[in-house]
Amino acid sequence: MRPGGPGCLDDRHPTPDETFIQAHEAADVSAINGIVSLANILRKRGLLTDAETSAMHESMSLPLGLPRHAENPVVQEIQLNLDRLFATVLKTR
């Protein structure tokens, strides 16, 4: 193996495992952005209450807080980002 991280042949050619992980990460970000965007639209139209918005945030945060994930610094970063996004949505009206 050449430099570029564990399992990476080089920086330009990720391994199949890295490609899968990158695709999964992109899909997760896309899903989170879509949900938060929809929540924002619904809030602006008065179709989503504070309680419902908070419930969405809590529902999305629940898996991130499970013991097997909670100590993972990457998961903690995702949670922080989710918290920031929903704080912005809650300010919307």
Q: What is the pLDDT of residues 37-86, one digit of tens each?
A: 999 999 999 999 999 999 999 999 999 999 999 899 999 999 999 999 99
Could you tell me the two tokens for 27? 């899909």
pLDDT of 92: 75
Cα separation, 32 vs 64, in Å, equals 13
Would you call 70 exposed, middle or buried from its count of C-beta atoms within 10 A (0-12, 13-18, 19+)? exposed
pTM value is 0.75
Domain positions in the chain are 50-93
